[in-house]
Each structure stands twice: as structure tokens, then as C-alpha cells.
Amino acid sequence: MDRLLVLVRHGQSEWNLKNLFTGWRDVDLSDQGVGEAKAAGERLKAKGLKFGAAYTSALKRAQRTLDIVLAELGQTGVPIARDQALNERDYGDLSGLNKDDARKKWGEDQVHVWRRSYAIAPPGGESLRDTGARVWPYYLHTIQPHVLRGEGVLIAAHGNSLRALIMALEGLSGDEIVKRELDTGVPIVYRLNADSTVASKEVLSG
């Protein structure tokens, strides 16, 4: 049985382009982001991958990425579930701020801690651990059963919601996962064993 799970971080957003903290703010893809989503779909199509279920967040940059990928695959009939459990990490008071302005306001070291620590949240926001606390149950109860039944699952989400998921899949520590960079629009193809552990992983870049 092919227990297929594919993760795609949404294409570049308009706020990625402007170097702004986005979080739960609902911004669209940039032109480059649309191109990245199309390229993701083309790479998955070249692998001949078929999906029976798709999941995304409640935010349009991830939803639009998923729609574009499925269109490129010719699989627009795949059932899609949208849930804020897969939303990006909430950056709280940092949301909407330019990252350079945030460094001027709070200091480079403090902003670095908020961005790259596992358990420390920015004011009014979520840490990566907090993000995982909503991602992990949703994956285990809602998504994983479809993967293990061999239905083929595609998830289009965000840098930090996907980091939380990858942490669980690959058994990484908090220190390890915060160092993991995820490129926009680059599919990560996992195949799972019957016990839900990872059998193989392939990153479809370039």
C-alpha cells in the first residue's frame, strides 16, 4: 500500500515579499507565489502522484496554493478540508510589522528569540509549541487515518504549522525543528509505514 503524505508550504505571499510578520493575517499570494504553486503542481504531476484527500488552513494564501496545485495536477475533484488548526503561527503583536521595524522596537536578540525559539511566544501570539498543540491532534485524528488507508493526502499550509507536523513525523526535538527551513512552494513527499512512522522522504526542489 502506498501511504502517501505530501506537504507544501504556500507560495510567496504579498507580505513575505514586503518582509512583514503575517501570522493569521489573511493576505494573498504574490505573482511569484502563484508561479511557485504552479511549479509545485508540475513537480507532483511529473511524479504521477494521485490524491484522495486534501487539507489546508483557513487562510487564503494556503487555500489558493492548494487550488493551483490541484489544477496543475488535473485533480480538482479531490475533497478539500479547510481548518484553522493548520493556520500559520499567530505572531500576536508582531503581526503586520516589518521585521526590521520589530528589531528596532524590541531589539534584534528578542525578535530572534520569538522567531526561532520553540517555546517562547511573542506578545499576544503563539510559540511553535503552541502551534503544535493544535496541529498535532488535528493530524492524528483527522488526517493520518486517510494516509494510513492509502488514500494519498496533500496538505498545503504554512511554515510553522508544517514545522510542527514535520517535528512529529520525523521525531525531532524543539531545538532541531526551529533550525529547519521550509522553502515556499516546494513539495515534501513522505511515504509512511503501517505504524505511521516515516518510510521515505523526498524534497521536490528544482
Catalytic residue among 10, 36, 72, 126: 10
Q: How far is CA 4 from each of CA 57, 84, 101, 122, 195, rounded to the nearest angstrom?
A: 20, 23, 42, 35, 13
Residue 141 known to be catalytic? no
Task: Note whether 10 and 33 are within 8 A (CB).
Answer: yes
Closest CA to 51 of 69, 83, 78: 78
What is the chain's alpha carbon radius of gyration, rounded to the nearest angstrom? 16
Within 8 A by CB and 6+ apart from 27, the residues are: 13, 14, 15, 60, 61
Please state, in angstroms and rounded to a whole number, the distance separating the CA atoms of residues 174 and 49.
31
The three grid cell numbers given for residue 96, joined into one nine-digit string: 503586520
Supply the DSSP symbol for 140: I
Residue 176 known to be catalytic? no
Catalytic residue among 88, 126, 146, 158: 88
Task: Please report where in the chains the cell 501570522 appears, as a residue.
Answer: 23
Catalytic residues: 10, 88
